[in-house]
Structures are given as C-alpha cells and as structure tokens.
Amino acid sequence: MAKETSPTPAMLSFGEVDKSFVQYNLYQAPIKFMGKDTRYKAILREGQLVAIVGKTYKLFPNEMAIEIAKDVAAKLGAVPFREDNVMYNKRSTRVFASYILPECEEVIGNDTVHPGFTIQNSIDATLAFSCSGFTYRTVCKNGVMVGFKRLSTVYHKHTGGLEVEKEKVEKMVESVLKDTENVLKAYAVMAQEKLTEEIAKSIAKLSKPLRPPYIKVEKGELVGFDQTKTLWEVYNDITAAIWHNTKFDIDGKVGRFGLLHRLIPLPRV
C-alpha cells in the first residue's frame, strides 16, 4: 500500500495574480496543486492571506461598499448616526456603515427613535455586500441592526474591477427603510405589552452582562421577574447592554442582536 503524504509547500503554488484592486492593497490568485488548477483562489491584503475562497467568489472591496453607502445616504437624505459611523470587526475584514434619517422619528414611550440602514460587506466571504435596517435610540445613544437584504446581485465584474448599479442599490435601501418603518411600529406595540413569564424564561438564558437585573436567575433558571416592565423597556435594556459593551466588536454585537430578536420576536404589524 502506498504511503500517504501530506501536501508540502512545494506542491502548492499560485497562478497569475489578479491586481484589479491593487489600489486597495487587495490581490487575488488562483491556487494550484502540483501545477494543476484547483477550484480555489487566495485573497491577500498587504501580503497577508485573508481567505481561501471558491474561484467564482466575487471580491468586493470594503472601501467600495463604504463609498456606495455614502452616495446612497446623500441621495436619500440620511446622515451618519454618529461621527464614527463606519465600524470594522477585529480582523478588519468585515465593515458596517450605518446611517439614520434625521427628519424621520418616532416617539415611543419616553424615547425618540430614528429609522435608518446599514450597508455591510466583507472581503473574506463571511458576509455578502448587503443592507440591514438600523434603528437608533437617541436617549441611550444605542443602535440596533435588524433584517438583512443581499445586494450582491447589483454588481458585475468587468475589465479593471467592478461596476455597480447604484440605482438598484438605492431602491433596495429604500425597501429596507420601508421595512424599518414597520420595525418602529412594532416597537410601539411592544411599548404597550408587558413582560411575560415565557419571554422572561427566554431572557434568563442570556449571560449576566446582558440580562436585566429585574430578571432573577438562580442556577440557570428563572426565579422571578418584574411584571410591570414593558417589552419595549426590556428590549431597550438588552440592546443598550449589547451596544455599549466594549468587549464586543461589531461582529459580536450583530450576533447578539440576532439572538435577541429570536428571544423577543418583533410583533408583526
């Protein structure tokens, strides 16, 4: 029986390097094994490997996503929700740029909430060029990302890089903003509903830093909760704990927002 051998660096090589995005210090190179093409390519940034992806993966630089976000925001009258509205994950491979509509607001309880949107993207195939709804609560200055709409279908490859159909991006962002208006309506419903034992049991599963103090837990089990609290108050307490926790990068925040929306589903309106 022939002895199996592990691939050695000498067996692996790169094909011709694609320099379409050299201005962003991004490169793509097909991966070869023993001189033969594989179905994969490497994405490199400043000489460092970012990811190994399928050859059909279409790289879209984060810088391009940010510029499109700025253009769309200007067209729709949206503004950055704060000065540093562009956020990266720890590896700087994923980006989130969030904007709000300053003239559009909803007063819910004692809070003023603005609808908005987030354009997001990655260079490591972990996140599509996409758009999410975004709501910003001015009292505690915390944002929440809701929903997801893929924008990957509005660009195509051409010689020298990518061409983006900005009009289609604008229409998709407008669609997300309409969905976000419904989110604000759902918030208004939550402000009228009280915390139930069923939801309190779900929230009891959260880690202590995210769990409101009026939800009492012992040995992982719910032992008491404040029945006077509205779902809106509970939702806000948790979103604030997520947003302002400095231990979470933007990936950590987005993941926990997703968990929260499973524990406290937004009412259908």
161 in Cβ contact with 183 (< 8 Å): no
Residue 19 DSSP label: -
Q: What pLDDT is attached to residue 1?
A: 52
Mean pLDDT of 35-61: 92
Length of the chain: 269
Task: State the chain's mean pLDDT as an integer.
Answer: 89
pLDDT tens column, 232-242: 999 999 999 99
CA gap 64, 21 in Å, rounded: 10
Write the CB contacts of 191 (distance below 8 Å, at least 6 apart in sequence). 108, 109, 230, 231, 232
pLDDT tens column, 182-199: 999 999 999 999 999 999
Mean pLDDT of 78-98: 95
pLDDT tens column, 133-173: 999 998 888 899 887 677 766 665 555 566 778 888 898 89
pLDDT tens column, 258-269: 999 999 989 887
Q: What pLDDT is attached to residue 152?
A: 65
In angstroms, how far is CA 46 from the centroid of its own chain? Answer: 25
Among residues of the chain, what percentage have pLDDT more than 70? 91
Q: Indicate the domain borders of the chain.
A: 9-54, 62-186, 197-263
